[in-house]
Amino acid sequence: MPRIGVVAMDALTWLFYLVPALVLLLWHARRRRRLERISIAAQEKTGAAEPASIHPAINPTRCIGCKSCIKACPEQAHHDVLGLVGGRAVLVSPGDCIGHGACKTACPVNAITLVFGSERRGVDIPVVTPHFESSVPGMFIAGELGGMGLIRNALEQGRQAMESIATRRSGGAAANGTLDVLIVGAGPAGFAATLTAKMKGMRYVTIEQESLGGAVFQYPRGKLVMTAPANVPLLGKVNFRQTSKEALLQFWVDAEKKTDIKINYKERVEDIARNGDTFTVKTSKATYQTRSVLLAIGRRGTPRKLGVPGEEMSKVVYRLIDPEQYAGQEVLVVGGGDSALEAAASIAEAGSKGVVLSYRGAEFDRAKARNRERIQSAASNGKMKVLMKSNIKQIDDKAVAIEHEGSTVSVDNDAVIVSAGGVLPSEFLKRIGINVETKRGQE
């Protein structure tokens, strides 16, 4: 073949490979730039939020920005939990990380460690033995409170902790009226522990301040739940991998009926004191004597109450689950932090008849700028009324009495959401004498 022809062939071959490679490279660069933009926006939106439990710490000098961790995170479908900033993976929305740990497994260069707390905010992890016993003999801890999140871990630990507690009965039966164990919390850990206690014929009482399911009950409507099969006492192997919040809760409600376990709902454990060989447990409704206590209270705390007449009505709740359930209703939101502002704004945006936001402070100085803007915009659109320096006096069936600027006003009302902070589990643990270790970004 003449020389010119050979050169032309070579150039054509080059073009054949080079053009698609360039197109691919450009496409890839655009996607990365877009991901970086989304990641920075997510970071700005979530601001100073801190992860509630175990979460990834990413070593930027090791990270190669390959995005494997981002692709592996099961929560990524709902929130931008991990993102790419400056070519490196970053935990952009720490408050949405629930500690699946899939990112660590997926990282090809070992740049990820799973840690508790951060330099800015320490997380108190109770010190427990391998049998789940705390520094107070006879008081056990299972589930997310001990540091390990996730439904399957909580189910497993609830069962194992109760098996340890059952061995304490070898010293003889408990005195009349004294329980073998009092279980605090009916989330996945408390639920599995209750089933184990029932299976072993123990004298138990399970106390739950809210309802069955623990944190699962608080998930947004329709949330896709990623979990793994677990062995649940009296039910056998439960094969859930991917399910919805509603299906999982229904499964637990059916299991509660089928196994005939008894859980005391709407009762809160307020104090636990050692009394010789036993514990005296004070709740919002009664006092119990028990040989052992299992704390399965998770890490989300006990919401603070207002302490006003009418607060016991079913229209009063302490967490917003689904803003759309308030469409067409008149809603009062109480509080001035981010969760109160987010709740009020999303209810107003979801088509409620009207929202009143009541806060006893003079300014929303603890809330993020973005949330303050949402409140301002809802107020200027007439969708919300904001009452600063106000106090709730009484809740009635169809109205609420609010003290504001020296007089008491009556506001029409269908539902009340109290978002006034809460008592953190670490405060409770310290009060009842359990040793905790404060972790600041450590494994």
Ligand X SMILES: Cc1cc2nc3c(=O)[nH]c(=O)nc-3n(C[C@H](O)[C@H](O)[C@H](O)COP(=O)(O)OP(=O)(O)OC[C@H]3O[C@@H](n4cnc5c(N)ncnc54)[C@H](O)[C@@H]3O)c2cc1C
Q: Which residues bind ligand X (CB under 6 A)?
A: 98, 143-145, 149-152, 154, 184-190, 207-210, 214-216, 219, 225-227, 268-269, 296-298, 300, 302
Q: How far is the CB of 161 from ligand X (least distance, A)?
A: 11
Phi-psi group of 66: left, alpha or beta (phi > 0 → left; psi -120 to 50 → alpha; rest → beta)? alpha
d(CA 27, CA 20): 10
How far is CA 292 from each of CA 27, 47, 158, 191, 436, rounded to the nearest angstrom?
61, 42, 14, 17, 19
**Tokens in use for 195?**
């089933």
Q: Which tokens belong to 10?
A: 């070579």
**Closest approach of ligand X to the CB of residue 128, in Å:** 13
Q: What is the smallest separation between the CB atom of 175 and ligand X, expressed in angstroms?
A: 24
Nearest to 354 by CA among 298, 309, 412, 302: 412
Residue 361 near residue 335, CB atoms below 8 Å: no
Do 57 and 112 meet the contact criterion of CB atoms below 8 Å apart? Answer: yes
In this complex, which beta carbon is closest to ligand X, that of residue 131 or of residue 241? 241
Q: How far is the CB of 301 from ligand X (least distance, A)?
A: 7
Nearer to ligand X, 143 or 354 (CB): 143
Give least dist CB 189 to ligand X, A.
Answer: 3
Distance, CA of 332 to CA of 354 (rounded, Å) = 9
Cβ atoms of 87 and 28 within 8 Å: the answer is no
| Residue nearer to ligand X on the CB measure, 69 or 378 | 69
Q: How far is the CB of 395 from ligand X (least distance, A)?
A: 21
Please state the length of the chain: 443
CB closer to ligand X, 33 vs 431: 431
Q: 208 or 330: whose CB is closer to ligand X?
A: 208
Of the pair 252, 359, the CB lying nearest ligand X is at 252
Cβ 167 vs Cβ 279: under 8 Å = no
